[in-house]
Amino acid sequence: MLQRLFSFKGGVKPQTGKSPSVQEAIGLAPLPERFYVPLHQSIGGAANPLVRPGETVGKGQLIGGADGWMSSAVHAPTSGRVLAIEDHVATHPSGLSTLSVVIEPDGSDEWVERKPIDYRRLPPERVREMLRDAGVVGLGGAVFPSHAKLTPAKSVTVEDLVINGAECEPFMTCDDMLMRERADETVRGIAIFRELLAAQRVLIGIEDNKPEAIAAMRAAVERLQLDYAVVAVPTRYPAGGAKQLIRVLTGKEVPASRRSTELGVQCFNVATVYTAYRALEFGEPVISRTVTLTGNVAHPRNWDVRIGTPLREFVALAEPRHDTNAFLMGGPMMGFALPSLDAPVVKATNCIIAGSAGLFPPNPPEMPCIRCGACAEACPHELQPFELYWFSRARIFGKTQEYHIFDCIECGCCSYVCPSHIPLVQYFRFAKSEIWAREREKKAADAAKARFELRNAREEREKEEKAERLAKAAAAKAAERKAGALPAGDEAEGSPRARGAHDTPPATVDAAGSAGTLDAEALKRATIQAAMERARAQRAEQAARNIDSLTPAQAKEIAAVDARRARLASATGAPPAPPESPLDKAASGD
């Protein structure tokens, strides 16, 4: 099939470095000693833990339930025992920790019951829910929940379903190998997605430096007698960016800060489609993914590795050379240096590169911008990186937004071509996260202001109501007084008498003798004791009722409160014992 191709502006052609890792077939990574499965592995809400420490889990068992629609489930990567649900280093440039489920494998690697889903008979919304509960997210690296992208907009019909097998990032070959080895399953997955979206046309875009993958996918499409177009797109970074690939394949240009969905185009990564197919056809949730392990290593290769495998054990499979000084996740253009190898493999992990001084020489010192405009020519989004750079550097964030900083996909083309070696993308990331932080703060301040004003209004109203009540009472009293001076006088006389009567009991008791006193006091104590007993019983009965489906943050908070209580109880000793001895004494005296 001949198809007219379009092109995007800018882009670069870095050394691909892909060949070392495609020499061998995808390997099966062995089980590690421990799994650390983070509960937050998608855009949107973090999954809620559904298991307890000490519980045994089966392979593929749901351990984290999706928190609402914009979230995705998390599953046990193997059978074993949950050791803890605790904070563990996240696979994130910050090196901060995130709530993770620690699982000790039992070695048997036994599946829980897998139920294939007859998705053809189910209504589409049910299929989407199942994809969410199978943890299917965008495996290109953005981990956007796929079921949300599979919801067609009511107003726009989906004309093109674009399947992204371009894999433009240097060194990365996981999608390439997946298409070579599992083309049939991937194409079957595409069929499901097409049905769910009711897409008119399917375009599979693969960079022309992967002839084997193109051939495999074409063969699979022919075997299954489908009308999908497998298109070889010119190799130019970042042809695998969603907006760039859509531009190349369909000629549609997605406008600034809008989504491709609005133009009737939806784009998915090949690995995502593959996992969705496994989830629906075999009932296997996403518990592993293909990861490229390459760079400064003895055995570069692609591995099928379980989610949650600690990176230290994973990278050891490739035997990194001795001069390795860093590990990158996600490729040399867009990836980041991993702060710790204790972090686990997550759904966003597509490639791990061992870096060395020879492979990635340290950045030469940053020189002043000479306004050559090379960055603007390289920018695939037709932004003006030099303008963004000045304003980010000077922290004039309003201006960076005027120059559309949020359309920057951080592809790194500008930094790559900059003759002054300015780390432009780092400046843009800094500016973006500052703007987000400010927006968060502004939102919080506005909410605080609203609450403050509401509170003031409430206080004002309460004051008025009180004044009104007092005025009413005063008026009533005045009216009463007016009604007759005599009853009022009577009342005034009456009260001291009443007080006198109240004072009498002790005197009478004194006169009556100690036996009577004891009796009365014992009775009183017994009543108090009974009341306390009741209160205690009530307290014991009163278990917290709203403790199902807590978010991990809430569960953590409760655990912290309990720990604090326990600590305090042990510090101050047991709470003061109820006065049992007086009662005993009273009973013996009786």
Contacts to another protein by CB under 8 A: 40, 90, 92-94, 96, 98, 363, 365-366, 423, 426-427, 429-430, 432-434, 436-437, 440-441, 444-449, 451-452, 454-455, 561, 564-565, 568-569
Which CB sits closer to another protein, 157 or 554? Answer: 554
Q: β-pairing, 336-337 with 324-329?
A: antiparallel
Cβ burial, residue 380 (10 Å; 0-12/13-18/19+): buried
Which CB sits closer to another protein, 454 or 467? Answer: 454
Tokens read off for 543: 């278990």
Nearest Cα residue to 154 out of 262, 13, 24, 297 = 262
- In the complex, least distance from residue 430 CB atom to another protein, rounded to whole angstroms: 5
Which CB sits closer to another protein, 56 or 426? Answer: 426
- In the complex, least distance from residue 61 CB atom to another protein, rounded to whole angstroms: 25
- In the complex, least distance from residue 229 CB atom to another protein, rounded to whole angstroms: 39
- In the complex, least distance from residue 573 CB atom to another protein, rounded to whole angstroms: 13
Per-residue b/e over 351-370, b at no fewer than 16 CB within 10 Å?
bbbbbbeebbeeeeeeeebe
| 128 touches 196 (CB < 8 A) | yes
- In the complex, least distance from residue 391 CB atom to another protein, rounded to whole angstroms: 13
Which CB sits closer to another protein, 108 or 433? Answer: 433
- In the complex, least distance from residue 320 CB atom to another protein, rounded to whole angstroms: 24
| 234 touches 207 (CB < 8 A) | yes
| 190 touches 273 (CB < 8 A) | yes
- In the complex, least distance from residue 327 CB atom to another protein, rounded to whole angstroms: 19
- In the complex, least distance from residue 437 CB atom to another protein, rounded to whole angstroms: 6
Residue 20, Cα to own-chain centre: how many angstroms? 34
Which CB sits closer to another protein, 246 or 375? Answer: 375
CA 120 → CA 150, 155, 363, distances in Å? 15, 24, 53
| 347 touches 275 (CB < 8 A) | no
Which CB sits closer to another protein, 465 or 490? Answer: 465
The Cα 13–Cα 352 span in angstroms is 21
Which CB sits closer to another protein, 370 or 447? Answer: 447
Check residue 395 and report its DSSP letter.
Answer: T
Per-residue b/e over 147-178, b at no fewer than 16 CB within 10 Å?
bbbbebeeeeebebbbbbbbbbbbbbbbbbbb
Which CB sits closer to another protein, 463 or 564? Answer: 564
